[in-house]
Chains A and B, each alone.
Chain A
């Protein structure tokens, strides 16, 4: 992931949307292929990094990479349709012409968790940036102790990637899900996702590392629960989000306290940003 030579962050690769998977209403996973074969080899992405996807005439959006398929030379981006870029992307669908800049950012530090119990805590669409870390951890399963996914969503029909859960469980990931609001027929957990963090057993605080991603208020309360269980603040990692234009630390938009979310993050160690998370409108 590290590049020693300073590079121009504005260089983009032409890419095309090869297929789209509708996850649930308003959320799609786009499978992109970079057009230039020679560029594909140079494009290395680590779990937790993101790309700037550009639709000419519309603009750019910062979207985390949810996975990659080296065989097909495709990168997956799960994204919620919200602004002009994602709306246009949804309308154009397969064949949408894009330019991709990236990958940017510091991703999930899986090496910090080797030999330890790793707990992934996801809220809503926050599972999308965590997915590559889960896939990577399962690919080297024996380097970790326990692997657990705690996943909260609004309703049962907004749980992402359920089709992969059986395979992940088979590969050694324990999965617990919970929803804020049950629908008729839901026989699982109901409540806020922090409850599952509170209840997680077995739990060995001294050898647990947590990666969390979701709405900021959720991550703050997950942090409270995690610290209350005796895990040091230096073993909790959060994926933060802010408005981005350049993705390289030049435009100033994405700052949270001293951190540029685009280059010091998006994954940040909790103790580094804890004092800034508590301040209103910072």
Chain B
């Protein structure tokens, strides 16, 4: 009953997180593969949803509504990356809107079914949470680098009062 393609996909996604085969099979029971076209919305900011996703092929854009600038694209996610961690943590509303950029193939996770699994099987639950934690750690590091504003010195600026340091640039 479990789609072998789903298991293969999960195995590839979880490869670095050392998730055991038995746990992968249990997770596969809650997953299915979906294909979306350009612009299709995975979930909206503010929505409480029971679905999370892993990107297999293509790109998903995250955006936040930031008045007066409107919808602002924050991050684009690619193959192997997790989209939406709130369902895993049972943590209320989504904090961003996710939409497909071009055609996208995803692994959709039914988070309600998955949470039942996590509650009842501690070992599997531990492995899955470890997997999610490592995905979030990678996301955090990437976010920090965005926050560091590494190209800050190159930002176009309005001319300021001259403050001559006199050094070679």
Contacts and interface: CB of A to CB of B under 8 A. Distances in A.
Contact flag (A, B; Cβ within 8 A): yes
Interface in A199-239: 199, 201, 214-215, 217-218, 221
Interface in A46-71: 59-62
A194 interface: yes
Interface stretch (B29-37, B40-48, B103-111, B140-148): B140-148
Interface in A112-130: 123-125
B125 interface: no
Nearest to B168: A61
Contacts of A190: 61, 73-76
Q: Which secondary structure dominates where chain A touches chain B?
A: mixed
Interface residues of A, number: 51
Interface stretch (A5-13, A179-187, A258-266): A179-187
Interface of B: 59, 61, 69-70, 72-76, 78-81, 101, 141-142, 145-146, 148-157, 162, 164-169
A217 B157 CA distance: 22
B156 A26 contact: yes
12 contacts: A83-B166, A84-B167, A84-B168, A158-B154, A184-B70, A189-B76, A190-B61, A217-B148, A218-B150, A221-B145, A243-B168, A245-B168
Contacts of A186: 73
A243 B167 contact: yes
A245 B80 CA distance: 47
Contacts, number: 109
Contacts of A214: 150
A86 B101 CA distance: 41
Contacts of A150: none
Q: Which secondary structure dominates where chain B touches chain A?
A: loop
Nearest to B154: A124
Given A199-B80, A243-B168, A191 B75 contact: yes
B168 A180 contact: no
Nearest to A27: B154
A18 to B, nearest CB: 21
Interface of A: 24-27, 59-62, 79-87, 123-125, 153-155, 157-158, 178, 180-182, 184, 186-192, 194-196, 198-199, 201, 214-215, 217-218, 221, 243-245
B142 A154 contact: no
Contacts of A192: 142, 145-146, 150
A261 to B, nearest CB: 13
B149 A180 contact: yes
A79 B165 CA distance: 18
Nearest to A215: B150
Contacts of B150: 123-124, 180, 192, 214-215, 217-218
A199 B75 CA distance: 14
B79 A26 contact: no
Given A25-B156, A199-B79, 16 more contacts: A61-B168, A62-B168, A83-B166, A84-B164, A84-B169, A154-B149, A154-B151, A158-B151, A158-B154, A178-B76, A188-B76, A191-B75, A215-B150, A217-B148, A218-B150, A244-B168
Contacts of B168: 59-62, 83-85, 243-245
Given A59-B168, A154-B154, A199 B78 contact: yes
Q: Which among B79, B145, B151 has the greatest number of chain A C-beta atoms within 10 A?
A: B151
